[in-house]
Amino acid sequence: MDQRQQELAARIAGRRGAVRGPFRVWLHSPEMCERAESLGAFARFDCSLPKHLRELTLLMAARNWDAQYSWNAHVQQAIEAGVPEAAVKAIAEKREPVFDNEADQAFHRFCREILEEHFVTDATFAAAQHHFGNKGLVDTIGALGNFTMLGMCLNTFQVDLQADKEPPFPDVRGYGRIAPDAGRERP
């Protein structure tokens, strides 16, 4: 690493404990790395969303992009922050989770519509805006965008899948999708 890369690596390790995952890739472009790290730090630590919703946003973007590294690195943090384990399992299995909290349910619906439909309905927007305000929705979009970029990076550069972790998604192995009927014998 050149001096600039070493400086960035030291700053990342100071904030995050080590240079792992996408940062090992992003360091190839120090300018990109610096900006991605800054946005990622804001999305994870400093935005207006409560911690459990920041973690939920990360899991939703990770599942949308099948980013297993990101999912594995954060699934326990999400549960510890208050995302119900049943909801986490439903998201991993691409089922609709149920949240006891109306605000959390509105938040999930807002994120899901953006990720899957690329638009949100007026009703979904109104419900999310009611609970989180414009600032919260802007922070949500920023977090989803950051975690989407993260997932794309991890998958493209095939960042270590953490061999000590179980594959989190039933339809993904390694860096590819498995056929829905894989493993079933044909008649």
pLDDT digits (tens, 9 = 90+) for 118-130: 999 999 999 999 9
Rounded to an integer, what distance in angstroms lies between the CA atom of residue 80 and that of residue 74? 10
CB 54 within 8 A of CB 143: yes
Q: Which residues contact 31 (CB under 8 A, 6 or more apart)?
A: none
The closest alpha carbon to 5, from 70, 25, 21, belongs to: 25
pLDDT digits (tens, 9 = 90+) for 3-37: 999 999 998 898 888 888 889 999 999 999 999 98
Q: What is the pTM of this model?
A: 0.89
Residue 166 to residues 67, 85, 115, 170, 173, Cα–Cα distance (Å): 13, 16, 25, 10, 10
pLDDT digits (tens, 9 = 90+) for 149-184: 999 999 999 987 777 888 899 998 888 888 765 544
Q: Which residues contact 9 (CB under 8 A, 6 or more apart)?
A: 1, 19, 23, 27
Instruction: Say what the pLDDT of residue 160 is.
Output: 78
* Fold category of 49-170 in CATH: AhpD-like (1.20.1290)
Rounded to an integer, what distance in angstroms lies between the CA atom of residue 32 and that of residue 130? 35
Instruction: Say what the pLDDT of residue 184 is.
Output: 45
The end-to-end CA distance of the chain, in Å, is: 56
Q: What's the count of helices (H) and strands (E) in the chain, helices before strands?
A: 8, 2
CB 132 within 8 A of CB 103: yes
Average confidence (pLDDT) over 76-104:
97
